[in-house]
Amino acid sequence: MGNLHISWLLLAQCLLLVTRISAKVPAVVVFGDSSVDAGNNNQIPTILRSNFEPYGRDFSGGKPTGRFSNGRVPTDFISQALGLKPFVPAYLDPSYNISDFAIGVTFASAGTGYDTATSDVLSVIPLWKQLESYKEYQNKLRLYLGGIKANETINGALHIMSLGTNDFLENYYTYPGRSSQYSIQQYQDLLIGIAGNFIKQLYHLGARKISLGGLPPMGCLPLERTTNVMGGNDCIADYNNVALEFNGKLKGLTTNLSKELPGIKLVFSNPYYIFLHMIRRPSLYGFEVTSVACCATGMFEMGYACNRNNMFTCTDASKYIFWDSFHPTEKANNIISDYVVKNVLAQFR
């Protein structure tokens, strides 16, 4: 009988421990671009959407959701790794409400960037408006949970920022506006200033756990490699170097703000090296194709997204790193997310 009592006591302690671990991060709150958009762009007047086949074919239910992938995006995997739901819903998706958003929500909009001029290119949701939606969300959360519980959720939630690639590829290097105003280094500094101000605003709104995402090796995206004819369609080294340089500044920003803002847990989540390693050593990860997207025509893809009902879409996306010319497959997203969780975000679990 004594052993039975001890067993029950141990079980109770284990259950309590599991509860505490899972409660360390009660919610995931996401800001950013198409890397973490789960369908917000479906609800706004923009051409930049992925609410059509073949997108979402490997997502639960096999239907397009507005995620720019064949399945889940990185924040979906991060949410699950933290003991929360296996996907993070879009704030503007009418299928969900505050009871869903209390555990996870993304305000991200495909095509956006730190620079408001970037979001203007395709008429998507700018970062400042994502913050306004977050304030609205906080008000709804307080009505739903009550003030004390809502504040605890906001303080404990992991706030994830994933953006920046569009500022360079869809803005600076595509249109003459910013490139005629700023050198590439000056433009990076402009974006760093915007990122810093955004983090400070999150902090003043109660956020204490924040992950600032870095840039991928953006010169290796199929959309960019197709233009590198003289370089044999290899990765564009200059773009990768800019990503590395900008990532260094983002890392410096996290260091400075960690000293400036008391009680903040601000981390830099860098996908660059794991992403590049997959591209350079694909067989180690079970990939076979690195330069062409799954929903491409067999040639290098020219557009930002897949074509509707593309008859050339590959049969097995798990063999491809890229789903479309700009975005990874679900398998690649899973590998990148797993790396970031284990090497950076594990401290929040």
Count: domains in the chain? 1
Considering the domain boundaries, does residue 36 fall inside one?
A: yes
Please determine, for residue 136, whether its predicted confidence score (pLDDT) is greater than 60: yes
Please determine, for residue 121, whether its predicted confidence score (pLDDT) is greater than 70: yes
Considering the domain boundaries, does residue 135 fall inside one?
A: yes
**Amino acid letter at 341?**
V
Considering the domain boundaries, does residue 134 fall inside one?
A: yes
197 confidence band (pLDDT: 50, 70, 90): very high
Q: Which of 109, 159, 327, 337 is catalytic?
A: 327
Quick one: tokens of 335?
């590998």
Nearest to 270 by CA among 170, 345, 195, 169: 345
Q: What is the pLDDT of residues 29-69, one digit of tens each?
A: 999 999 999 999 999 999 999 998 899 999 999 999 999 99
Q: Which of 34, 69, 291, 318 is catalytic?
A: 34
Q: Can you say how many angstroms the Cα of residue 318 is from the centroid of all Cα atoms in its chain?
A: 20
34 is catalytic: yes
183 is catalytic: no
Quick one: tokens of 294?
């799954």
Give SS3 for 12: helix
- Domain extent, residue 216, equals 24-271+330-348
Considering the domain boundaries, does residue 283 fall inside one?
A: no
The backbone region for 296, taken as left when phi is positive above 0, alpha when psi lies in -120 to 50, beta otherwise, is: beta
Please determine, for residue 20, whether its predicted confidence score (pLDDT) is greater than 80: no
Q: Domain with 54 in it: what CATH number?
A: 3.40.50
Considering the domain boundaries, does residue 279 fall inside one?
A: no
Exposed/middle/buried for 315, CB within 10 Å: 0-12, 13-18, 19+?
A: exposed
Q: What is the pLDDT of residues 275-291, one digit of tens each?
A: 999 999 999 999 999 98
Please determine, for residue 311, whether its predicted confidence score (pLDDT) is greater than 80: no
Considering the domain boundaries, does residue 317 fall inside one?
A: no
Please determine, for residue 325, whether its predicted confidence score (pLDDT) is greater than 50: yes
Cβ neighbours around 66 below 10 Å, total: 22
Considering the domain boundaries, does residue 293 fall inside one?
A: no
Considering the domain boundaries, does residue 60 fall inside one?
A: yes
Q: Which of 33, 37, 167, 324 is catalytic?
A: 324
4 confidence band (pLDDT: 50, 70, 90): very low
